[in-house]
Homo-oligomer: A and B are copies of this chain.
Amino acid sequence: MKRPTIADIAQRAGVSKGAVSYALNGQPGVSEATRQRIVAIAREIGFNPNSAARALSGATAKAVGLTLCRPARILSIEPFFMGLISGFEAELAARSYALTLQVVATPEHEIEVYRRWWGERRVDGVFVSDLRENDVRIAVLQELQLPAVVIGGPGNTGTIAQIWSDDAGAVTEAVRYLVALGHRRIARVGGLPDLLHTQTRTRAFNEVCASLGIDNAVTVPSDYTGEEGGRATRRLLIGADRPTAIIFDNDVMAVAGLAVAQEMGLNVPADLSIVAWDDSPLCSLVHPPLTALSRDISEYGAHAARQLLAAVAGERVTNAEAGTAHLTPRGSTAPPRQP
């Protein structure tokens, strides 16, 4: 089956190919009557512009890229990225932008992918997640002048705009809530320590604990997997002064932590309160349902997509803070059982 081209439309409409292009792209240069006739023909014969030809003629690729830097076993149950992708799609689809996905193993591999995408002119811009300190990707993106938006921060990303949510505010709210319930021994199972937002959370956690007189507030670093999260929880719970409340940096680790507590015969929330970061449906799925720091990941993604499309369009995009995650209390938190 032959794909219809603007030449076919031009012939049927009795105009030049240029006129068809102007008409279809809403450019001046054709009369309104001609435009309508051309548009009607295009629709009738099911015309779609060849994306390659379009991209080659200097227009945009109409595609943006996302690299995912997580092992497969994490990606599959990490709700965050799929939520983000859903949010991207909402904006991208509306403007007929495609999303190109690539799973990468390391930040270096990620850079290779950026270079290749740029060289191939495959994407007009990229989403960058998992921001680190002195992130090596930033310099490359600036060198290539590849439009980008960083999801996460705040950090130093030069001319590349960031969007982040107020991690410090959220962790502060969670600790205050637990302290209000009567908890004095509060621990945290953190995400990957290299990531900037993990560091932000750790700093804020330490500060608010200190300010409230919570002495041995400890953060155990982890890697977002259930295995590691469970192990970290076990280590915390077998100690002498075991915490009465734990904040987890993602929902997967929180669910694993819940299982470990139950396996050790502890009652949640009476013996141990649990707060999960990021309120995916996972948190409502378990028993007891988990108190969570909720934010609208989809909307977060949509916001990032709007920023990226603006950057692609050459607009100056400024850093933006998405809403602070707010606490959604559920069955996993309660005052600590009196000893």
- Contact surface of A with B, Cβ cutoff 8 Å: 1, 3-4, 46-56, 61, 63, 72-73, 75-83, 85-87, 89-90, 93, 96, 98-103, 115-116, 118-122, 143-145, 225-227, 230, 252, 255-256, 258-260, 262-263, 280-282, 284-287, 289, 297-298
CA of A262 to CA of B259, assembled, Å: 13
A103 and B76 form a contact (CB under 8 A): no
Report chain B residues within 8 Å CB of A72.
Answer: 82-83, 86-87, 298
Q: Given A56-B56, A76-B82, A86-B72, does the pair A98, B119 have CB atoms closer than 8 Å?
A: no
* Number of chain copies forming the complex: 2
A85 and B103 form a contact (CB under 8 A): yes
Report chain B residues within 8 Å CB of A280.
Answer: 76-77
CA of A266 to CA of B260, assembled, Å: 19
Q: Give A2 Cβ to nearest chain B Cβ, in Å.
A: 11
Report chain B residues within 8 Å CB of A48.
Answer: 115-116, 118-120
CA of A93 to CA of B103, assembled, Å: 8
Q: Can you name the residue of chain B whose Cβ is closest to the Cβ of A255?
A: B285
Report chain B residues within 8 Å CB of A78.
Answer: 82
Inter-chain pairs besides A51-B55, A93-B103, A286-B286, 16 sampled, C-beta below 8 Å: A3-B121, A52-B55, A72-B82, A77-B79, A77-B280, A77-B282, A89-B102, A96-B116, A98-B101, A98-B122, A101-B101, A252-B285, A255-B285, A255-B286, A256-B285, A258-B287
Report chain B residues within 8 Å CB of A230.
Answer: 285
Q: Give A148 Cβ to nearest chain B Cβ, in Å.
A: 15
Q: Give A207 Cβ to nearest chain B Cβ, in Å.
A: 31
CA of A280 to CA of B75, assembled, Å: 11
* Cβ-neighbour of A119 out of B46, B121, B285 (below 8 A): B46
CA of A258 to CA of B98, assembled, Å: 39
A-B contact pairs, 20 of them (CB 8 A): A47-B119, A49-B120, A52-B121, A56-B56, A63-B100, A72-B82, A72-B86, A76-B79, A76-B82, A76-B280, A76-B297, A77-B281, A77-B282, A85-B101, A93-B102, A98-B102, A99-B100, A226-B281, A258-B287, A259-B286
